[in-house]
Chains A and B, each alone.
Chain A
Amino acid sequence: MTAIFEAFKTRAEAVSAEVHRFTGRAEALAFILGFLREAGVSAAPQCGGVWATGSFLEGVGQEDLQSQVPGLSFAVTREASAEARVGISQMDWAISGTGTLVQDATAVEKRLVSTLPPIHLAVLGTERILADMGSVLQRLRPDQINYIACITGPSRTADIERVLTIGVHGPGRLIIVVVDAFEQVMA
């Protein structure tokens, strides 16, 4: 598991993603809350944080999190997302060969939090890292899922003089929080 994580991390960092690994949900949550505060998420206008909930948050008191980081919202709307500083969502799978995150993004909330805010924080279970696209598409099947999103690093362009510039229309930062005891928590 460590080898495939390391391979994923190397590839993801090579495309400017920031990768952090934690042993359990509590540690990961502590990091995320700290990160949100540091990024300036607050109740002030244009300072929100939007979280498209997933199994990672099952059994976690959302009010408790909101009390720790005012401005964090679990009601994801286009308005809230357009004004947010950070968007958080859970990824279903990842690909070590390319440093890619993959998600069933049919629910529009998941797309809003990962497209509109300047920072996208993605949560992923360590066991969810697979070798290649083929393995992922056997589990997230396009014949059953209407919108599959693959994300490899932050938004980028080289359209002016081929100079690589990060953060055009999508997020300029992609923070990947990888959690070892993710599955156990869900169970």
Chain B
Amino acid sequence: MTTQFQESIATALNNSNLTGALGRFSEAYRISRAKAYEGIDFDAVRDQIAEIKCAASSRFEALAEQFRQNAESRGAKVFRTSDPAEVKRYILDLAQAQGVRQVVKSKSMASEEIHLNKAFEQAGIAVDETDLGEWIIQLAHQTPSHMVMPAIHMTKEEVAEVFSQEVEAGQAPDIPKLVKFARAKLRPKFLAADMGITGANIAVAETGSLVIVTNEGNARLVSTLPRIHVAIVGIEKLVAQLQDIQPILTALPRSATGQLLTSYVSILSGQVPNTDGSPKQLHIILMDNHRSDMAKDPKFKEALQCIRCATCLNVCPVFRLVGGHVFGKTYTGGIGTILTAWFDELKKSEDIQGLCIQCGSCVPVCPGKIDIPGLILELRRRLVVEKGQSLAMKAAFGIVNNRRLFHGMLRMASVTQKPFKQGRFIRHLPLFLSEMTDFRSLPAIAAEPFRDKVKAIPQTKGGQKVAFYSGCLIDFAYPEMGESLVKILNKAGIEVLFPENQTCCGAPARYSGAYEVAAQNARDNIQALLAAEVTHVVSACPTCTVALKHDFIDTFKSLGMTDAMGAAEQLAAKTIDFSTLVKQLVEAGRLTFKEGEDLGKITYHDSCHLKRTLKASDEPRELLQQAGHELTEMYECDTCCGMAGSYSLKLPEISAPILERKLKHIKDTGATKVAMDCPGCVMQIRGGLDKDGAPIRAEHTAELLADRFL
């Protein structure tokens, strides 16, 4: 991580205006988005969008050519180029040839991408952004922090100050007045401009049409008043047919701003008359800038399904803390990280890809069905391939790949931690490690790991057998969770085996981009787990479950290790998470709850991987309620707790405020217990509650259910 990047994070986190505004926005956004989609089958709409955009990116060349022919037959001039420098040259040459002195622009991310304004300024041509947010940041000499709301990071006071300094002194921080001021000041610019520049939200090959979606009405003025209209369009905006615009127009306003439709949607197809009756010059620039390279990449082709609604920013627990500027100069947030890596260069994403906490919040709400965290992980993997892993990481993963050494070190840690241990927690660590215990206490390494303890548990033999995959946290920090699981499954007449050779699930390596290390972990575990003669492999850690069920296969696939796939799929089919298995056993009548228990108020925290990858969120809730708990839902119950494996060690300054929000929402329920299905979340939330001093117990569902069955 560069110092500059760390400083930009620190600056953002210390900007209470920013975190306050973004925090409030992200809360309001969820509500307005949900309301806008009432009566709409979102999954059906996004299936259509994904299909339309995927089909389009498979034949960019053909569609671009078809678009060119159709638009040109209707009087437009279409310029196709892959080079941003060519785009600027074309526009500047045109401006100079036509004697253009003033340019007005409506919002175009493509023009931000190529830094067009700078080129105009250098050529001595006046250029004014007219979208209010874009105008504000132009005046403030900043870059957009959000694709839909470019100036969301600024307060009205800051806007008033910018207007006062850059336009006219004495502007008050009163929003309606500031808007009126912008209208008054920009109106003469619209009327005087010789050239208007817009972007486009969709380009239809079949008709040569551009679809432009706005709220302020500036794009209508920009495309009507100046005698020349230039539209800069990235080729990913192409769709084949006119009917393709409908699902996009259904999703874009709803997802971007919670509107059923924006105030204005303009469909421009070819030349229209100028106000003096002459035909208006329409120049459409179809810009590639690495988009067709992306289309050829089997993984990243998917990112071209983006409709630029910025939902992935709005629902991101990290974005709402740090805002857009830490991501770079143009595209921000999750999708911005991916676009920057391609439109700019892979190296530019080196720091920002690390911001993704891999919680998956953006996945179910993306109208383009893009697996953004998955693609960011792929960036991480390619960065490691290209640049190699740091020496420290290499050393760490070397240990993880040697189970005996790794487990030996963990056992050693239970001894060396003694000076820092207080009961179940490590509250302080010395010097450079202190950040780890700054905002939460860490669990003490258990004196006796689960792998030793399990040998002493008497179990009924002869019945159904399952293998327990504990994962490192349960094995070495929370063996009691494993003991609870054994106790429960024994009640159902199931014997729990613990295959000794199981090792780290490889998630730490995989999430750091070290796929080779993860693949070795996968091979070791597959061998250990498939050797056991069992009906299921059960895990009480969702990250581990996802590793066994999905990631092993994906890691092998990414590395082209086809020989290992069969066994990985066999293991995946057998793998099940704790709550889902127990729920099945209850339903099958093999487990019976004790009756009439009143266990008091509880709230439930959804772990990212359990809810969004394994799709289990009702199962633990139903079990806890059947056991006798009164469930009270917390606000944002499925928002990440900030743990995310090593993320909380790499970026503790982001992990801490995410945890703080989570703790507040837990406390607001008034519950005395908070349940969750992930030992990682327990580590984060229990440690946070310990530092906080709140009298609330954070427990794994397994622990809460251990004594609840007959």
B residues less than 8 Å from A150 (CB atoms)? 261, 264-267
Q: Which residue of B lies closest to A154 (CB)?
A: B263
Q: Does chain A have a CB within 8 A of B396?
A: no
What's the least CB distance linking A45 to chain B, in Å? 16
Q: Which listed segment binds A: B89-97, B211-219, B387-395, B671-679?
A: B211-219
21 sampled A-B residue pairs with Cβ under 8 A: A78-B275, A99-B260, A108-B224, A112-B275, A137-B246, A142-B267, A143-B207, A147-B266, A149-B264, A150-B266, A152-B259, A153-B263, A157-B132, A158-B215, A160-B159, A160-B179, A161-B155, A162-B152, A168-B218, A170-B218, A171-B217
Contact A97 B267 (CB under 8 A): no
State whether the Cβ of A20 lies closer than 8 Å to any Cβ in chain B. Answer: no
Closest 10 CB pairs between A and B?
A: A170-B217, A159-B133, A150-B265, A155-B217, A159-B132, A148-B267, A168-B216, A78-B275, A98-B261, A169-B218
CB distance from A12 to the nearest CB of B (A): 11
CB distance from A26 to the nearest CB of B (A): 31
Known contacts A159-B132, A165-B175, A170 near B264 by CB under 8 Å: yes
Contact partners of B270 in chain A: CB under 8 A: 146
Q: Which of A77, A97, A158 contacts B260 (CB 8 A)?
A: A97
The DSSP consensus for interface residues of chain A is loop
- A157 and B179 contact, CB distance less than 8 A: yes
A159-B224 contact in complex given A100-B261, A168-B216, A170-B263, C-beta closer than 8 Å: no
By a CB distance below 8 angstroms, the chain B residues around A163 are: 156, 175
Answer whether residue B525 sits at the interface, using C-beta atoms and an 8 A cutoff: no
Q: Is B481 positioned at the interface, with any CB of A under 8 Å from its CB?
A: no
B367 within 8 A of A: no
Q: Which of A90-122 touch B at CB < 8 Å? A: 97-100, 105-108, 111-112, 114-116
- Chain B residues with CB under 8 Å of A156's CB are 215-216, 263
On whether the beta carbons of B257 and A158 are closer than 8 Å, the reply is yes
Q: Taking chain B's interface residues, is the majority helix, strand, or loop, or is none over half, making it mixed?
A: mixed
Which residues does chain B contribute within 8 Å of A82, judged by CB atoms? Answer: 187, 191
With an 8 Å Cβ cutoff, the count of chain A residues facing the other chain is 49
A161–B532 alpha-carbon span in the complex (Å): 59
Q: How many angstroms from the CA of A156 to the CA of B28 in the assembled complex?
A: 18
Binding site for B on A (CB under 8 A): 11, 15, 77-78, 82, 97-100, 105-108, 111-112, 114-116, 133-134, 137, 141-143, 145-163, 165, 167-171
Q: How far is the CB of B261 from chain A (nearest CB, A)?
A: 4
B266 and A148 within 8 A (CB): yes
Within B272-299, the residues touching A (CB, 8 Å) are 272-275
Given contact pairs A98-B260, A112-B275, A168-B183, A142 touches B74 in the complex (Cβ within 8 A): no
CB-CB under 8 A from A149, the residues of chain B are 220, 264-266
User: Could you say which residues of chain B place their CB within 8 Å of the CB of A157?
Assistant: 132-133, 179, 215-216
Which partner residue on chain A sits nearest B243 by CB separation?
Answer: A134
The interface size bin for chain B is: 35 or more
A99→B260 CA distance, assembly (Å): 9
Among residues of B, the one whose C-beta sits closest to the C-beta of A77 is B275
* CB under 8 Å from chain A, chain B span 216-240: 216-218, 220-221, 224-225
What is the 8 Å Cβ interface bit string for chain B, positions 179-191, against chain A (1 contact, 0 not)?
1101100110011
B-chain residues with CB within 8 Å of residue A11 when the two chains form the complex? 260
Complex formed: what's the CA distance from A134 to B176 in Å?
A: 36
Whether B512 is near chain A, meaning CB under 8 Å from some CB there, is: no
Is the pair B175, A115 in contact by a Cβ cutoff of 8 Å?
no
* A7 to B365 alpha-carbon distance, docked (Å): 28
Any chain A CB within 8 A of the CB of B8? no
Residue of A78, A134, A151, A161 near B263 (CB, 8 A) is A151
Verify if B268 is at the interface (C-beta below 8 Å from A). yes
- Indicate with 1 or 0, residue by residue over B130-151, a CB within 8 angstroms of chain A CB atoms: 1111001000000000000111
A151 CA to B132 CA, complexed, in Å: 19
Chain B stretch 297-317: residues in CB contact (< 8 A) with chain A:
none
Which of B74, B149, B206, B217 counts the most chain A CB atoms within 10 A?
B217
- Select one of A108, A152, A170, A171 contacting B274, CB under 8 A: A108
Question: Once the chains are docked, how many angstroms separate the CA of A133 from the CA of B225?
Answer: 27
**Do residues B21 and A111 form an inter-chain contact, with CB atoms below 8 A?**
no
Closest to B206 in A: A143
Q: How far, in Å, is A74 (CB) from chain B's closest CB?
A: 16
Q: Given the complex of chains A and B, what is the CA–CA distance between A12 and B269 in angstroms?
A: 27
Q: Which residue of B lies closest to A149 (CB)?
A: B266
| B175 contacts across to A, CB distance below 8 A | 160-161, 163, 165
Q: Is the CB of B272 within 8 A of A169?
A: no
A169 pairs with B130, CB closer than 8 A = yes
**Smallest CB–CB gap between B575 and chain A, Å?**
44
**Is B505 an interface position by the 8 A CB rule?**
no
Task: Tell me if A78 and B225 are in contact (CB < 8 A).
Answer: yes
